[in-house]
Every structure is written in C-alpha cells, then in structure tokens.
C-alpha cells in the first residue's frame, strides 16, 4: 500500500523554540515534497528533495531526505508566529498503475507567543 505518514499530527510550540516534523513513506521514492497550507487557502510549495542526502533551507525551515530510511524531516529553527500553518509532505510513489503523489495527513503547527 502506498502510504505517507507524518509525526506529529499536531504541534504547539513557543516562539524561538526548535522542532522537527517527520515524514515516513512506504515504498521506494527518490522525490519528496513539502507544502504549506494556511487555513482556507491552497497549498504552497516549500521544498523539493530529489536525492538521498538532499538538504534544502529557506529561512527558518530546513528539509532533508534519507531515501534508505524512507524518511524526510522538516526542521523549524527559532519558530515565529508566521510559521503557523499545516505542513504536508508528499512522496512520488510508484505502484502497478504508474506513479502518483501520495500526501501525508499533515502536521498542524501552532506557534504561540
């Protein structure tokens, strides 16, 4: 079964703290995507990770990919309120019918003052 899991599903953190969101996927994939969704809005692309060991950073967010462990992480450094949103990871997974983007359930992040 093609499956993407995220941990935690809910995250409440104080400003200036650091935390990591984990994303596991069930089958081989060398492409992992992170998206952000604000309430009532569509999805905004954050990162595309294309190979094992890939690391990308944008502001206070850093994403990495370990294809052998089928694991991606999204690290938040010194959180600020503007980062409050739901974060989704998605893996490009292949089954007998082709390849498909499979999304995780999302991690709802609240950054509290």
Partner 1 sequence: KAGVTQTPRYLIKTRGQQVTLSCSPISGHRSVSWYQQTPGQGLQFLFEYFSETQRNKGNFPGRFSGRQFSNSRSEMNVSTLELGDSALYLCASRIATDTQYFGPGTRLTVL
| Binding residues for partner 1 (CB under 8 A) | 31, 33, 35, 41-45, 48, 88, 92, 97-103, 105-106
- Coil, helix or strand at residue 62: strand
What is the nearest approach in angstroms of partner 1 to the Cβ of residue 109? 16
What is the nearest approach in angstroms of partner 1 to the Cβ of residue 48? 5
In whole angstroms, give the CA distance from residue 46 to residue 102.
16
Which lies closer to partner 1 via its Cβ, residue 96 or residue 113? 96
Which lies closer to partner 1 via its Cβ, residue 62 or residue 92? 92
Tokens in use for 90?
Answer: 């998605």
- Edge-first strand order for the sheet with 71-76 is 4-7, 19-25, 71-76, 61-66, 55-58
Which lies closer to partner 1 via its Cβ, residue 31 or residue 75? 31
């Amino acid at each position: 079964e093609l499956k993407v899991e995220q941990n935690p599903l809910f995250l409440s953190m104080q400003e200036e703290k650091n935390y990591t969101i984990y994303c596991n996927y069930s089958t081989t994939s060398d492409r992992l995507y992170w998206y952000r969704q604000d309430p009532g809005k569509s999805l905004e692309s954050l990162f595309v990770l294309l190979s094992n060991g890939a690391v990308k950073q944008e502001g206070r967010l850093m994403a990495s990919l370990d294809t052998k462990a089928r694991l991606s992480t999204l690290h938040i450094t010194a959180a600020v309120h503007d980062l409050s949103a739901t974060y989704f990871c998605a893996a490009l997974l292949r089954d007998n019918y082709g390849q498909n983007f499979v999304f995780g359930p999302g991690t709802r992040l609240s950054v509290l003052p």
